Amino acid sequence: QVQLVESGGGLVQTGGSRRLSCVASGLAFSSAAMGWFRQAPGKEREFVARITPSSGTTYYADAVKGRFAISRDNAKNTVYLQMNSLKPEDTAVYYCVVDRTWYRRTTEASAYDYWGQGTQVTVSS
């Protein structure tokens, strides 16, 4: 059974930083692409970032490029999202995701095989 457990969410001021973590179990972590999506109230889920199994390639949504950084530690089955220069529009529930088809580049939510339960990030203005 695949489990993804996110942590690190909370309340942060505009311009602040936050690091999210996601610990995965029940899958071949080092063979899967990992990513993050987010969903703000009243909006659809949107792609945030993605990283290949070897950490060789990362992809970002334009809205977070230059401010967020995705990384992973395959020895710990953990993926991270470092969020800097946070803005109120970054307020959302953040989800950790798995794509077992690691070699493709996709931002479609339906393409991802597993989802975590989400962690709330709230950026106050």
Q: What is the mean pLDDT of residues 88-117?
A: 95
DSSP state of 90: G
- Give the pLDDT confidence of 60-95 residue by residue, as tens digits: 999 999 999 999 999 999 999 999 999 999 999 999
**Res 105 pLDDT > 90:** no
**Long-range contacts of range 62-69, CB-CB < 8 Å, 24 or more positions apart?**
63/89, 64/90
Using the CB atoms, write b or e for 90-111: b if 16+ within 10 Å: bbbbbbbbbbeebeeeebebee
Q: What is the mean pLDDT of residues 1-5?
A: 96
**Res 102 pLDDT > 90:** no
pLDDT above 90 covers a percentage of the chain that reads 93
- Give the pLDDT confidence of 39-57 residue by residue, as tens digits: 999 999 999 999 999 877 9
What count of other Cβ atoms lies within 10 Å of the Cβ of residue 63? 14
**Res 121 pLDDT > 90:** yes
Per-residue confidence band for 104, with pLDDT thresholds at 50, 70 and 90: confident
Q: Are 121 and 7 in contact (CB under 8 A)?
A: no
- Give the pLDDT confidence of 5-20 residue by residue, as tens digits: 999 999 999 999 999 9
What does the pLDDT read at residue 103? 85
Quote the tokens at residue 29.
């972590």
